[in-house]
Amino acid sequence: MRLSLFLFASASTFAQGVINDVTQLNPIPVARVVTPTSIEQIVAEVKANPCPISIGGGRFSMGGQTATQGALQLDMRQFDRVIDLDRQKKEITVQAGITWRKIQEFIDPHQLSLQVMQSYANFTVGGALSVNAHGRYMGMGPAVLSVKSIRLVLANGDVVLATPDTNRELFYGAIGGYGAMGVIAEATLRLADNVKVERRTQLMPFTAYADYFQKQVRGKTDIIFHNADMYPDAFESVRVTSYVKTDKPVTVADRLIPIDRDYRTLHWMHLVNSEWPGGKLMRQFFGEPFLNRGEKVVWRNYEASYNVQELEPASREKSTYVLQEFFIPVGDLNSFAPKMVQILQRHNVNTINISIRHAYPDPGTLLAWAREEVFAFVLYYKQGTSHADRHEVAMWTRELIDAAIAHRGAYYLPYQIWGTDQQFHKAYPRADEFFALKAKVDPTYKFRNKLWDAYYHPVNLPASQAPSGDPAERLAKTPITSGTRRRRI
């Protein structure tokens, strides 16, 4: 069966605005916000505006990756239609502002499921492909593995198709390229079957996990989702969870998590975990056993439809929940982890969780974070919003980046931009190739945001168009207030 959908277009333009992200740490004033609903409107805006343009998806990146001062903001969230579903080939073509959730609602009745996405379904396809996201899937890795093709709007307004064979450079530059090569307007994604999965979970010492993973998890095709959560502050034990294909009847009737679910209990649990004395032990010994009680058999789409609302605090004014992520070659799991733990403990980081996930190597993106088979350490923590708190985060983030680099690893780029130029080039050794391609397809540095303002140094630009500088410079200018360094938020 092949479904083709007709698309209708209308556009909105708003005057000046301030773009921020989920952390509320990065307000950025922009010149104008445009919400295109057709590819023609994207092309028209790109052609009509000489400089600069930044692209926003769900705005869940955490360091200004979606904006820069005074730019035109392309807010992609209303460019969100399904263009085509090929049920036989198990492929879907979508406009890039669509969220995973909206795709899930569309494909679920066809018993299909996404192959790779993050743990939550709120992200847009354009934002997820631009960071080359990953999830808890076994046997997969970076999202590029599930992409058949993309259509890109380049800086000169040309619309090009890019696949691993056609315009290969652009395909591997734009995926994981944080909006640097142009606007990802459409994507064709490969789909999987929506199967039933059964949760299997157990506790074990962290030191037993690497061996367990190799023997019980790696290469097992019936395991769909898998991760291991390290419990702070001791980080000595992990809860290992796999969702395994099953024919058993579901224990949850919903096919997707209801959009209006009540998250008050989870919000309270996060508060206890992050602010109460002994809260982390309460989570480990009461909260998690409670959440993992009994048998759970659900549809794959259900397990892939978590909502970031479950994490949202009552206020982000004085403190905020934030992520960092580090990718380490699989063989270095046991040698990297103690160094990471030591840094977190020394800086008294209010760690909420560290989720360990697996990824097979990236097939060729220029900014690949999985240059070989890796484990991702997904660090979820709470920090204060003052200058001093941010300064402290910058310090320990750099220490963690150094530790990752020492293990031939990488840090993830959608989060706060604290890595220095040198760290960036060590973690992403093909960055010069990436920048050479950018200079070729975007010679006036039209597509920009805070990430590229920090790391991209184009030559021959008029001073008025020059980017705002290296993060080291910003960090050096950030005042630090004594007495706040070891405070816990």
Ligand X SMILES: Cc1cc2nc3c(=O)[nH]c(=O)nc-3n(C[C@H](O)[C@H](O)[C@H](O)COP(=O)(O)OP(=O)(O)OC[C@H]3O[C@@H](n4cnc5c(N)ncnc54)[C@H](O)[C@@H]3O)c2cc1C
Name the site residues for ligand X (rule: CB under 6 A): 22, 54-61, 65-66, 76, 96, 118-120, 123-124, 126-128, 130-131, 133-135, 178-179, 183-184, 308, 311, 323, 414, 449
Q: How far is the CB of 261 from ligand X (least distance, A)?
A: 16
Q: Three-state SS string across 289-323, please?
A: HHHCCCCCEEEHHHHCCECHHHHCCCCCCCEEEEE
Nearer to ligand X, 87 or 190 (CB): 190
Rg (CA), the chain: 22
CB 105 within 8 A of CB 91: no
Q: Shortest CA distance to 398 belongs to which of 366, 375, 381, 421?
A: 421
Place of tokens 């076994």: 138
Q: How far is the CB of 327 from ligand X (least distance, A)?
A: 10
Percent of the chain that is helix, strand, coil (3-state, to 5): 30, 25, 40
Report the alpha-carbon angle 266-272-277, nearest 5.
Answer: 165
Type of residue numbered 465: Q
Nearer to ligand X, 31 or 311 (CB): 311
Nearer to ligand X, 20 or 348 (CB): 20
List beta partners, residue 380: 323, 353
Nearer to ligand X, 173 or 232 (CB): 173
Q: How far is the CB of 351 from ligand X (least distance, A)?
A: 15
Q: How far is the CB of 229 from ligand X (least distance, A)?
A: 13
Nearer to ligand X, 59 or 199 (CB): 59
Q: How far is the CB of 64 from ligand X (least distance, A)?
A: 9
Q: How far is the CB of 217 from ligand X (least distance, A)?
A: 18
What's the distance, Cα to Cα, between the start and end of the chain in Å? 54
Q: How far is the CB of 449 from ligand X (least distance, A)?
A: 5
Nearer to ligand X, 248 or 312 (CB): 312
The tokens of 73 are what?
A: 């903001």
Nearer to ligand X, 89 or 103 (CB): 103
Q: Shortest CA distance to 42 belongs to which of 30, 55, 58?
A: 55
Nearer to ligand X, 30 or 133 (CB): 133
The tokens of 18 are what?
A: 């301030």
Q: How far is the CB of 187 from ligand X (least distance, A)?
A: 9
Nearer to ligand X, 198 or 453 (CB): 453
Provide CB contacts within 8 A for 265, sequence distance 6+. none
List beta partners, residue 196: 299
> Which phi and psi (to 5°) does residue 434 adopt?
-60, -45
Scored b (16 or more CB within 10 A) or e, 226-248 reads bbbbbbbeebebbbbbbbbebee
Long-range pairs for 280-287: beta carbons < 8 A, 24 or more residues apart: 280/231, 280/232, 280/233, 283/231, 284/231, 284/237
Nearer to ligand X, 65 or 416 (CB): 65
Nearer to ligand X, 110 or 364 (CB): 364
Q: How far apart are CA 291 and CA 409, in angstroms?
A: 33
Q: How far is the CB of 178 from ligand X (least distance, A)?
A: 4
Residue whose CB is nearest to ligand X in the complex, by number? 127
- Three-state secondary-structure class, residue 275: helix
Nearer to ligand X, 346 or 381 (CB): 381
Place of tokens 């992409």: 147
Q: How far is the CB of 482 from ligand X (least distance, A)?
A: 32
Q: Exposed, middle or buried by CB within 10 Å (0-12, 13-18, 19+), for 473?
A: exposed
Q: How far is the CB of 282 from ligand X (least distance, A)?
A: 22
Q: How far is the CB of 169 from ligand X (least distance, A)?
A: 16
The tokens of 74 are what?
A: 């392309």
Q: How far is the CB of 93 from ligand X (least distance, A)?
A: 14
Nearer to ligand X, 288 or 442 (CB): 442
Q: How far apart are CA 392 and CA 378, in angstroms?
A: 19
Q: How far apart are CA 153 and CA 180, in angstroms?
A: 11
Q: How far apart are CA 337 and CA 315, in angstroms?
A: 32
The tokens of 329 are what?
A: 């070659």
* Beta strands at 72-75 and 53-56: parallel, antiparallel or unpaired: parallel
